[in-house]
Copies of this chain bind each other. A is one copy, B any other.
Amino acid sequence: MTKGAAVRQRHRVAVLGATGAVGQTFVRLLANHPWFELAEVAASERSAGKAYGEAARWLGTEPLPACVAEMTVLPCDPGRVTADIVFSALDSGAAQDAEPAFARAGKTVLTNAKNYRMPPDVPLVIAEVNPSHLDVLDAQRKNRGWTGAIVANGNCSAIVSTLPLAPIHQQFGINKVFVMTMQAISGAGYPGVPALDILGNVIPYIGDEEPKIESEIQKFLGTSNGSAISSATFPVSAHANRVPVENGHTVCLSIALEQKASADDVARAIADWRGAECLGELPSAPERPLVLTMVPDQPQPRRQVGTGGGMSIVVGRVRPDPILDVKLVAMGDNIMRGAAGASVLNAELMVHRGLIGGT
């Protein structure tokens, strides 16, 4: 994360819901960010007023930076948070009212909450996949009477699935997608999944996850007309499972194509893809958003979750599918690429394009 370190003045940012698992990841990523200065942390009333180091049960393996530990936790109130760029790790109950309130108050909210992912005037963005969806922000402001904005991050499994689908859709067109997930426990936050439920076990169900995966993949791969986003219309069917893995979601994908192509063609499309042009300059962008492996039993979460600093999706086993056209396995870091890291990358993209922080 040293790319571009010296080029510009750092933008002051705040984290909402800073004490939880995703919030802590934001804090970790922003504590030494070359473009952003972590100026404020906010959380629930219960934590507000305490020092962050007391309020948060720090989960990181590296110690919490002292300067952050000493910050006083603010309430999630746009009248108290002064930063204009706000990363939200709020749970959906808190996000429902708080995020529009911040947007109304002129803040740009980059959110991990599920609440505002699906309206057509809210961009649901993966920086490498659909940066053009940010062009609906003017319409969003107009529609809603906001001076700020909400930009949404997707569900972790939807992100891990969409990245390898993107070059396939761009090059060959996608007709149908089966996605079967094996999701890490870190995706459920902390304390999250009780050990008694998952040790040596599989839970073939994650509440509300399958509809999110299905609809968000369609929106990520949809199109914007400048004022609204239309989701792609190909059907998606998801099976979501929890497995005893600490970090890294693995997804099995079977894909039908518009335009016939071999497994080799698809593998090449994945290997060659670099995403949208500009991203190499962004501090959080990995060298390659997709890394293709030819090792027969890879990708594996424990071995490869850190690829590209946790921001690359590792793709393997690209092969013909007896029913649809091609099948493959993808794996990515659900915390970095699937949550906080993706939001930070989105914010970097917006700075780079002059959509925030410009003045």
Binding site for B on A (CB under 8 A): 59, 61, 176, 178, 180, 182, 185-186, 190-205, 207, 214, 235-237, 239, 241, 243-246, 250, 252, 254, 296-304, 306, 316-317, 321-324, 327, 329, 331
CA distance A207 to B317 in the complex (A): 12
Contact, CB under 8 Å: A296 / B244: no
A190's partner among B194, B301, B304 (CB-CB below 8 A) is B194
CA distance A178 to B202 in the complex (A): 19
Name the B residues within 8 Å of A193 (CB-CB): 194-196
CA distance A155 to B302 in the complex (A): 26
Nearest Cβ on chain B to A337's Cβ, whole angstroms: 17
15 sample A-B contacts, Cβ–Cβ < 8 Å, listed by A number: A61-B306, A178-B178, A182-B182, A191-B197, A192-B194, A192-B195, A193-B195, A195-B198, A199-B199, A200-B246, A204-B299, A214-B322, A236-B322, A241-B250, A244-B244
Contact, CB under 8 Å: B199 / A327: no
Contact, CB under 8 Å: A61 / B303: yes
With A178-B323, A252-B180 as given contacts, are A200 and B202 in contact (CB-CB < 8 Å)? Answer: no
Tell me how many chains of this kind the complex includes. 4
CA distance A260 to B343 in the complex (A): 43
Contact, CB under 8 Å: B196 / A246: yes
Name the B residues within 8 Å of A196 (CB-CB): 59, 185-186, 190-193, 246
Contact, CB under 8 Å: A202 / B243: yes
Nearest Cβ on chain B to A342's Cβ, whole angstroms: 20
Name the B residues within 8 Å of A235 (CB-CB): 322-323
Contact, CB under 8 Å: B61 / A202: no
Name the B residues within 8 Å of A180 (CB-CB): 180, 239, 252
CA distance A316 to B239 in the complex (A): 12
CA distance A200 to B202 in the complex (A): 12
Contact, CB under 8 Å: B195 / A197: yes
CA distance A243 to B181 in the complex (A): 12
Name the B residues within 8 Å of A298 (CB-CB): 204-205
Contact, CB under 8 Å: A200 / B197: no
CA distance A254 to B254 in the complex (A): 12
Contact, CB under 8 Å: B178 / A254: yes
Report, nearest first, the 7 A-B pairs whose CB atoms are least far apart: A191-B194, A239-B252, A201-B302, A205-B297, A180-B180, A204-B329, A195-B195
Name the B residues within 8 Å of A198 (CB-CB): 195, 199
Nearest Cβ on chain B to A345's Cβ, whole angstroms: 23
CA distance A317 to B195 in the complex (A): 23
CA distance A61 to B197 in the complex (A): 12
Most chain B C-beta atoms within 10 Å of own C-beta, residue among A194, A207, A214, A236? A194
Name the B residues within 8 Å of A250 (CB-CB): 202, 204, 241
A203's partner among B186, B207, B236, B297 (CB-CB below 8 A) is B297
Contact, CB under 8 Å: A199 / B202: no
CA distance A298 to B193 in the complex (A): 15
Contact, CB under 8 Å: A322 / B186: no
Name the B residues within 8 Å of A243 (CB-CB): 182, 202, 243-244
Name the B residues within 8 Å of A204 (CB-CB): 250, 252, 297-300, 316-317, 329, 331
Nearest Cβ on chain B to A301's Cβ, whole angstroms: 6
Contact, CB under 8 Å: B300 / A245: no
